[in-house]
A and B are shown apart, each in its own frame.
Chain A
């Protein structure tokens, strides 16, 4: 052991930066603005923002899985659909208050994620990914065959008619704020906690992290379940806004496509990247969505190019040039100049 010498310079651990403080403020303002939408936005705008928030949250969940936990999933739609269906069954079939049912429905992905993980973690990296897709397909086929969720025809959420348009807008807006708070704020809080440090150690080198006493397996499991719940929240909110659910839409692999595109193009393993990627996707979808297939060809090719030539995505290129993170996670040692006594 090296003894602490009195000659060592004084240091201070810095965990926040000017850019980080500004981003936190912006995040807080955004959450407040989202919650206040009924007072400044039309229903159409709220619905559009809701969709944006859904993309953002799903992408961030995928980012936590693939970017930090090393769990590449292409089947998170399994948990979105499961929670969506749980909401419809609770609210429509059992008459539970739909806004309460949203939170109750999160138990379903949480409980389902446990056996899924226990089965899938036996598969090697790339096989794990395809395995998650099989699970999502199983969920879809089960939903298509279950008569008490009306099989392939799906269900409607007609109980929402009991609420006024304004009431629904208030709920949508609060749920948007919640999704952003949980996915972005929650991830940021998690990444800055002692778990976060362990996660980053794990991302950089799982073997080394394991030897440092980080329980890699338990951490992976926790993130998998948390991401399932996060995706479940998005699913419940999204299908509540849609008022309809059917197996095809509930377990649509499109969600995985979008999440992967957002995270990879924006910049994997960074919250900033997810924000950038979501904006790009959302704008591209508004502008070029009408071109249908050819637009998806471009998205696919862009994803390939990022995987081949720019693994860090757009945020990777930005942060290589400017050291101004919006969500600083690393700890910096700063020399304070004077010597400790």
Chain B
């Protein structure tokens, strides 16, 4: 029963990670770029959300309604101002640029919000729970999981069924051939980053509702997103989703074994996947 409980908690935790991982999978798939400031953007959005809530007295879903468009705009700006100049064969410029951005963002947040941990008041939402035959499940983690499934499903549908999705997949496959077919790669890149960071708007609200956030937390979020994407296998949003579940469950079970072992267990499973199945659980060899 204890292990079943860990499994359930792990899946719920995976719902949180999926919201980080989707955007990273999308950006890497299309541009072969890893945005090192991915995690810092979650934290930045969280802190903005928390400040909005306390200044204007907004509830969590009102904060979400404000944060997601803001995140989309931030992603678009990131692409226009930074990433468009560093997209290319050489991975170094994009890594360095986003690395520098991460350093600047982290310390800027430290300056504005101090090093304290904060959280978003959920108006009682965070303490409500549902009971299923002896297991208590928090309502909030269930909502997070539902959003994660909906976002994954929606993104998958967008990629497979729409004009924009086809253009995105074409650009991901061969950007020059895509341009030869009339696709404007920069417009596609800007939309991809806007969507990727936009999803972080959801993640930011849930992250700050579920636990606390502090300016230096971004690195961990980046690593979890990255591990989920690699475990699941590149090239599919469902891969990133499943990878998030595997990571969440591993961490939850590791935590049951020893509280100091939770995060480490996740890393070890990541390394195990890398050693035995480098294309990821669902990637094509």
Q: Do chains A and B touch in the complex (CB under 8 A)?
A: yes
A296 adjacent to B99 (CB under 8 Å): no
Across the interface, A134 reaches (CB within 8 A) one of B34, B91, B105, B271, namely B271
Does B62 count as interface, using CB distance less than 8 angstroms? Answer: no
- Contacts A130-B222, A137-B223, A138-B267; is A307 near B86 (CB within 8 Å)? yes
Q: A129 — which chain B residues lie within 8 A by C-beta?
A: 34, 36, 91, 95
Complex CA–CA separation, A66 to B111 (angstroms) = 31
Q: Which one of B15-23, B236-244, B256-264 is at the interface? A: B256-264
Does B118 count as interface, using CB distance less than 8 angstroms? Answer: no
Does A294 count as interface, using CB distance less than 8 angstroms? Answer: yes
Does A74 count as interface, using CB distance less than 8 angstroms? Answer: yes
Q: A299 — which chain B residues lie within 8 A by C-beta?
A: 100, 103-104
Q: How far is the CB of A53 from chain B (nearest CB, A)?
A: 23
B107 adjacent to A126 (CB under 8 Å): no
A257-308 contacts to B, CB under 8 A, are: 257, 260-261, 264, 268, 292-308
B103 adjacent to A300 (CB under 8 Å): yes
Chain B: interface size category = 35 or more
A303 adjacent to B263 (CB under 8 Å): no
Q: How far is the CB of A113 from chain B (nearest CB, A)?
A: 15
Complex CA–CA separation, A44 to B263 (angstroms) = 40
Q: List 11 A-B contacts (CB under 8 A).
A: A119-B275, A123-B230, A126-B28, A134-B271, A138-B267, A141-B263, A145-B260, A264-B100, A295-B107, A300-B100, A300-B105
A110-152 contacts to B, CB under 8 A, are: 119-120, 122-127, 129-131, 133-135, 137-138, 141-142, 144-145
Does A196 count as interface, using CB distance less than 8 angstroms? Answer: no
Q: B104 — which chain A residues lie within 8 A by C-beta?
A: 296-301, 304
Does A72 count as interface, using CB distance less than 8 angstroms? Answer: yes
Q: How far is the CB of A220 from chain B (nearest CB, A)?
A: 14
B260 adjacent to A66 (CB under 8 Å): no
Complex CA–CA separation, A137 to B222 (angstroms) = 12
For the complex of A and B, the 5 pairs showing the least CB-CB separation, nearest first, are: A300-B104, A303-B100, A125-B91, A300-B103, A126-B34
Q: A124 — which chain B residues lie within 8 A by C-beta?
A: 32, 91
Complex CA–CA separation, A170 to B174 (angstroms) = 59
- Chain B, residues 228-269, CB within 8 Å of chain A (1/0): the string is 001000000000000000000000000000101101100110
A308 adjacent to B85 (CB under 8 Å): yes
- Chain B, residues 50-86, CB within 8 Å of chain A (1/0): the string is 0000000000000000000000000000000010011
Across the interface, B86 reaches (CB within 8 A) one of A74, A268, A308, namely A308
B274 adjacent to A122 (CB under 8 Å): yes
Across the interface, B111 reaches (CB within 8 A) one of A122, A133, A297, A307, namely A297
**Which of A126, A137, A308 has the most chain B CB atoms inside 10 A of its CB?**
A126
Does A253 count as interface, using CB distance less than 8 angstroms? Answer: yes
Known: A134-B270, A302-B100, A307-B86. 8 other contacts (CB 8 A): A134-B226, A138-B264, A141-B263, A294-B107, A296-B104, A303-B100, A304-B100, A304-B101
- Contacts A145-B264, A297-B108, A302-B100; is A127 near B34 (CB within 8 Å)? yes
- Contacts A72-B91, A127-B34, A145-B261; is A134 near B223 (CB within 8 Å)? yes
